[in-house]
Amino acid sequence: MTERPFKIFVVDDSEWYNKLLVHTLSLNPDYEIKSFFNGKDFLNSLFESPDIVTLDYRLPDMTGLEILKRIMDENSDTQVILISEQEDIDTVVSLLKLGAYDYITKSDDIKDRLLNTVKNIRNGIGLKMEISTLRREIQKKYTFRQSIQGESAAIKNVYELIDKALTTNITVVITGETGTGKELAAKAIHYNSKRKDKPFVTVNIAAIPHELIESELFGHEKGAFTGAAFRRIGRFEEADAGTIFLDEIGEMELNLQAKLLRVLQEKEIVRVGSNKPVKTDCRTVVATNKNLKEEVKKGNFREDLYYRLLGLPIEIPPLRDRGNDILILAHHFIAGFCSENDLPLKKLSLQSQKKLMSYPFPGNVRELKSVIELAVTLSENDEIQPSDLAIDMSDPLSVVTSDTLTLREYQMRIIKATILKSNNDIKLAAQKLDIGISTIYRMLKEEKDDSTP
C-alpha cells in the first residue's frame, strides 16, 4: 500500500519568492507542493489537510495572523512556518504562542533553514504516527475482555466493575492476591477510558527504597540532596492528564502517606527541595494484596488516606475460585507462546487438563502462565502431557477433587489447607470456614485417634 504523499502548501504573494520556495521544496520527490498567492484561495483548499504550510506574514487580502488562527481552528495537525521580511520579536513570539512551528525571515540562507525545518517537522510527524500506532496497539491489547480472559461468574463481575470505572475519573482500588492480574486490570481501565491517549505510569511502592520513594513520586530540584545533580520530574507529573497506578500501596510508609493524601486532595505536588506547588491532573488507581481496613486498625495505614482512597473497589478473584477459567487461560497462554516463538500450536491432553484443574495455583494467573510456557517448551510433540506440567501436587488442597477420597477426607484436606494458609491460626481458619473452633479441634483429634494403631 502506497503511503500518502507529504503535502506542503506555499502561500506567498511575491511571485519570485513563491517560485523560489516551490523550487526548493520540489527538490525532494517525496513532497507534493501547491502554491497560492492570496489567503482566500489557500483557505478554500485547506480541507485538503496539508502537512505543512509556509505562510507569508503579509498578504494582499489578509494577515498571516488571521490565516494562522483559521488553520489552528480547522486543522491543528497542520504545521505552519511563518515567512516574512520583518524581524519584530513581539510579532514572532505572539505567532509562536498561537501555534506556529517556526518563523523564518526572508534572507540569503532561507533555503537551508526551510529545508531543515521541514525535515524536522516530517520526522516529528513520523514519530507521532509511530506513537499513535503503538497506543492503538496497546489499547487493542488491553481491551479488557481480551486481556482478562475468563467466563466464570467471579471474572464477569470484574468486567462489570471495570465497565463502571470507564465512565468517570473515580479512584479505583484493586485488591487481590499476588499474581491475580491487578496491573492488567489497571491498564484495562486506563486504555479504555477517556484518558487512553495520555500516559499510564506505574509505580510499585514495594520495589523502591523508602529513602527514594518521595523523589520518585514527586520529583526533586537540583541540589535537593546529595547526588541531585539536576531537576527530576516525578511520576505524578509524568502521569499528568493520564493515569498513575500505585501498586502495593499498603507498603507505603506513614510519613509519605500524609504527603500522598495532600496530593490527592489538592491535585498538586511539591518537588523535594522546593516550596513551589505544581498542579497535576491524573487519575489514581491503586492496588494492594493487603486488607487496608485491617492495616488502619493495626496503625500501619492512615485512616484519612484510607477514606480518601475509598472509590470503586474491584477485587480480582484468585485463580482457584475461577473454575474452568484455568483451562481458558491455559489455552490462551499456549496460543500466545506458540505464536510468539513460531511454534506449531499445541494442546493439552485430557490428563493434563485434570492436573491443572486439581492444582490450587498459589501464584495465581502469573504462575499458570509460567507453568504453561515451560510445558510448551518441554513437550515432545503437539500434545502437552502431565509430566510436562511442573507443578507441585503435594499441596494439601491440590487433590481435593480426587475421586478416591471420602467426604470426610475432603473435609480434612480443606481444613488442613485453610489452617496452613492462615499461618496455623486456628481461630482465623475457623472464621474463613465459617465453623466453630471446637469443630476443628475435634476433627483433628478424631483423625489422629483413627491413625493411632
Angle (CA) 331-334-336 rounded to 5° is 110
Question: Regarding beta strands 79-84 and 52-56, do their DSSP bridges make them parallel or antiparallel, or are they unpaired?
Answer: parallel
Are residues 96 and 179 both part of a single domain?
no
Report the C-alpha gap between 117 and 8 in whole angstroms: 12
What DSSP assignment string belongs to 171-235? -EEEE--TTS-HHHHHHHHHHTSTTTTS-EEEEEGGGS-HHHHHHHHHEE-TTSSTT--S-EE-H
Question: Regarding beta strands 6-11 and 52-56, do their DSSP bridges make them parallel or antiparallel, or are they unpaired?
Answer: parallel
Residue 66 lies in a domain: yes
Question: What's 285's domain CATH number?
Answer: 3.40.50.300
Are residues 257 and 361 both part of a single domain?
no
Are residues 294 and 368 both part of a single domain?
no
Residue 437 lies in a domain: yes
> Can you give the pLDDT at residue 4?
61
Q: Beta partners for 54?
A: 10, 81
Question: For residue 15, what are the domain limits?
Answer: 6-129
Which of the residues in the chain have pLDDT under 70?
Answer: 1-4, 86-91, 125-147, 393-407, 410, 450-453
Are residues 45 and 117 both part of a single domain?
yes
Structural domain ending residue among the three candidates 315, 345, 361: 315
Structural domain ending residue among the three candidates 264, 280, 315: 315
Residue 1 lies in a domain: no
> Can you give the pLDDT at residue 452?
56
- CB under 8 Å, gap of 24 or more: what pairs does 63-69 form? 64/95, 65/94, 65/95, 65/98, 66/39, 67/11, 67/39, 67/42, 67/43, 68/95, 68/98, 68/99, 68/100, 69/98
| Residue % of the chain over a pLDDT of 70 | 87
> Can you give the pLDDT at residue 396?
46
Structural domain ending residue among the three candidates 315, 337, 359: 315
Residue 305 lies in a domain: yes
Number of domains observed in the structure of the chain: 4
Are residues 346 and 310 both part of a single domain?
no
> Do 428 and 422 contact (CB within 8 A), yes or no?
yes
Q: What is the pLDDT of residues 56-81, one digit of tens each?
A: 888 888 887 888 888 888 777 788 88
Are residues 246 and 357 both part of a single domain?
no
Chain length of the chain: 453
Question: What's 420's domain CATH number?
Answer: 1.10.10
Are residues 38 and 93 both part of a single domain?
yes
Give the helix/strand (H/E) hosting 104. strand 102-105
Residue 355 lies in a domain: yes
Are residues 371 and 445 both part of a single domain?
no
Are residues 286 and 328 both part of a single domain?
no
Sign of the C-alpha dihedral computed for residues 129, 134, 140 and 144 taken in this order: negative
Residue 354 C-alpha cell reads as 485434570
Residue 136 lies in a domain: no
Q: Which among 426, 441, 440, 158 has a CA at the least distance from the CA of 317? A: 158
> Can you give the pLDDT at residue 399?
43
Q: Which residue's entry shows cell 484455568?
A: 326
Burial 290-320 (b: 16+ CB within 10 A, else e): eebeebbeeebbbeebbebbebbebbbbbbb
Are residues 170 and 294 both part of a single domain?
yes
Report the C-alpha gap between 57 and 78 in whole angstroms: 17
3 state DSSP class of 272: strand
Residue 247 lies in a domain: yes
* Average pLDDT score, the chain: 84
Q: Which among 134, 115, 148 has a CA at the least distance from the CA of 31? A: 115
Are residues 148 and 267 both part of a single domain?
yes
Residue 176 C-alpha cell reads as 487481590
Q: What is the pTM of this model?
A: 0.58
Are residues 150 and 29 both part of a single domain?
no
Residue 24 lies in a domain: yes
Q: Beta partners for 270?
A: 277
